[in-house]
Chain A
């Protein structure tokens, strides 16, 4: 059972990394580079803009995105086609949730595991934002350089 979960977790992680590139590419973001992955005990969100999706069904877990306010504006501007400077707090909240949703949807499809349901997103925004979710499994934190800034993609799967 544990071996199966590990195998599925690896499929999800591989799919997640490929999906992040695909999503950012569609949004016409430039200079996308994978900086690496590290593992931490808990699912900790410490960016100024964050979105989290809960995986349920056949494989349970959490997937989130976390970044600074400027990159969040660029990312949401990339999704909407709007001028990043014109985006409101509500735009950023909804946009970060939608970004998490797109990434999770793509991960789910590319992993071909099936039977995974996605929750509605949880979105957090704030200059001193810090969220901690104590999870059963360790959290893998992928770091991507996007337009000279860092997008963190967290996965406890």
Chain B
């Protein structure tokens, strides 16, 4: 299974790819919401977790999240928001729209690894 990071920042995509690689996952990358949805449409069955930015040109992360959760083919894939937006109102909106987890930037690679494991149901007790 693979991870999919949707983020306009190549810096963040590289961080997530590095962490995913350390955990043994191949990481697919998309630099905007439209491309991310296309990846899910074509390769959704391979994706175990989507890591989704909020502020991106074009579709924002919340719009992408709603599109994922509205599509019966991919709505089962867990989505973790990875964003600089840390206000409660943003977190509530994301959770209400179906996000499984919410992580604010910046983060350490250790924290990201732990959160990915948790999202995939492999976190420690």
Contacts and interface: CB of A to CB of B under 8 A. Distances in A.
Contacts of B9: 94, 97-98, 101
Interface size class of B (residues with CB under 8 A): 20 to 34
Contacts of B14: 80, 82
Interface stretch (A21-29, A63-71, A124-132, A138-146): A21-29
A91 interface: yes
B123 interface: no
A35 interface: no
B11 interface: yes
Interface string A67-85: 0000000001001111000
A104 interface: yes
A95 B18 CA distance: 15
Contact of B85 (A79, A97, A109, A112): A109
A81 B18 contact: yes
Interface string B81-98: 001111101000000000
A105 B10 contact: no
The 7 closest A-B pairs by CB, nearest first: A105-B84, A109-B86, A26-B106, A98-B11, A95-B11, A98-B9, A94-B11
